[in-house]
Amino acid sequence: MCINYLSDHASAERLCGQIRETGGHAIAVQADVSNEDEIIRLFGRVDSELGRITALVNNAGTVGEASRLDTMSEFRLLKIMMSNVVGPMLCSKHALLRMLPRHGGRGGSIVNVSSVAARLGSPGEYVDYAASKGALDTFTVGLAKEVAGEGVRVNAVRPGYIFTEFHALSGDPHRVSKLEPTIPMGRGGLADEVAEAILWLLSDKASYSTGSFIDLGGGR
């Protein structure tokens, strides 16, 4: 398994260590997945150290501080779209160059990490983030149909309020706890709950699932 990270080397290595302790083989590779040259380098490491890729999880992404559209800069909007839309598309492209039979592959599975924001819109907070995830949903459906007959499945999960460090990027690391009363289930979600859904979609248990979405929003 390859763990890609942008800047948190310690956390990536810690996760690799946990995988190795269970008997798995893992490497951590730094790369900015909004940059195709770095993606090429990332996949090159996978080829040389792990072999041909059969599964890809597009989990990298970013969000800005909560604000309205009329205060957002061009830089912020472009950064959101490059990280949350172009990055997953480029990573999927290079995965397909290894998965598709026409390129010598034997198929595979791709899971995109979207968000319930894609269908809720996040007004007054993150319409840019919501729009990027809406684009990712459309990409998921389109690519799933494009490669369905070639042994590659493409699905997505849409998490809601999940207890992760991601919310610190929005300027409010305690955001999930504050918003728990608005969640029908009355609590925020856990990263492991999202991971279980991703693992299922990657597995043969989901062999007839493509172009599908699993919402993990506690009822939102």
Residues 74-122 have pLDDT tens digits of 999 999 999 999 999 999 999 999 999 999 999 999 999 999 999 999 9
When the pLDDT of each residue in the chain is averaged and rounded to a whole number, the result is 95
Q: What is d(CA 167, CA 174) in angstroms, rounded to the nearest whole number?
A: 7
Residue 142's φ and ψ, nearest 5 degrees, are: -65, -45
> Cβ neighbours of residue 128 under 8 Å, at least 6 residues apart?
64, 69, 72, 76, 77, 80, 81
Any idea what the CATH number is for the domain that residue 167 is in?
Answer: 3.40.50.720
- High-pLDDT (> 70) share of the chain, %: 98
Asked whether residue 187 is assigned to any structural domain, the reply reads: yes
Q: What stretch of H or E contains 5?
A: strand 2-5
What residue ranges in 11-151 does DSSP mark as E strands?
27-30, 55-58, 108-113
Q: Is residue 80 part of a domain?
A: yes
**210/162: higher pLDDT:** 210
Query: Would you say residue 7 lies in a domain?
Result: no
Instruction: Please give the residue that has the higher pLDDT: either 180 or 213.
Output: 213
Least confident of 40-49, 63-72, 178-187, 198-207: 178-187
Predicted confidence band of residue 170 (pLDDT cuts 50, 70, 90): low
pTM of the model: 0.94
Q: Is residue 10 domain-resident?
A: no
Examine the pLDDT at 172 and tell me if it is beyond 80: no
Could you tell me if residue 20 is inside a domain? no
Q: Whole-angstrom Cα distance, residue 144 to residue 163?
A: 29
Q: Which residues of 119-145 are buried (b: 16+ CB within 10 A; e: fewer)?
A: beebeebbbbbbbbbbbbbebbbebbe
Looking at the structure of the chain, the number of domains it has is 1
Under 8 Å between Cβ of 88 and 59: no
126 is annotated as an active-site residue: no
Residue 212 falls inside a structural domain: yes
Average pLDDT over residues 123-136: 97
Q: Rounded to an integer, what distance in angstroms lies between the CA atom of residue 57 and that of residue 91?
A: 9
- Give the residue among 129, 144, 218 at the shortest CA–CA distance from 181: 218
**What's the average model confidence in pLDDT over 61-85?**
97
Range of the domain at 187: 54-216
Within-domain flag for 154: yes
Contact assessment for residue 144 and residue 210, using Cβ atoms and an 8 Å cutoff: yes
Q: Which of 5, 126, 129, 161 is catalytic?
A: 129
Q: SS3 for 64?
A: coil
Concatenating the DSSP letter of every residue in 151-205 gives TEEEEEEEE-SB-SGGGGGGT-TTHHHHHGGGSTTSS-B-HHHHHHHHHHHHSGG
Instruction: Look up residue 218 and give its amino acid.
Output: G
38 within domain boundaries: no
